[in-house]
Amino acid sequence: MSKSEIKAPLPGTFYRASSPDLPVFKQDGDDVSAEETIGIIEVMKTFHEVQAGIAGKRITFLVDNEEPIMAGQVIAEVEQ
């Protein structure tokens, strides 16, 4: 069992749900597939979905909702 990192492709503000009234895309501990959306990054008032990119088990988010992030920063980890 090893841990794999999911990194931010863009700098901006990270959101875990598509709107404040909706549930988060993924809870800590969920399994994810490579195509699944795990969050949204807002860059200069435009919104970009972030896919997991890799399949894995028990996702752990390292960034809070609405937190500023840099490109390449690790957003979450999954077990493989």
CA dist., res. 73 & res. 64, Å (int): 13
**Residue whose CB is less far from another protein, 13 or 51:** 13
Residue 50: name the closest of 40, 59, 60, 58 by CA.
40
Q: Which residues bind another protein (CB under 8 A)?
A: 10-13, 42-46, 66, 68
Closer Cβ to another protein, 15 or 56, answer by number: 15
Closest approach of Cβ 1 to another protein, in Å? 35
- C-alpha to C-alpha distance for 71 and 7, rounded to whole angstroms: 8
Nearest distance, CB of residue 19 and another protein, angstroms: 12
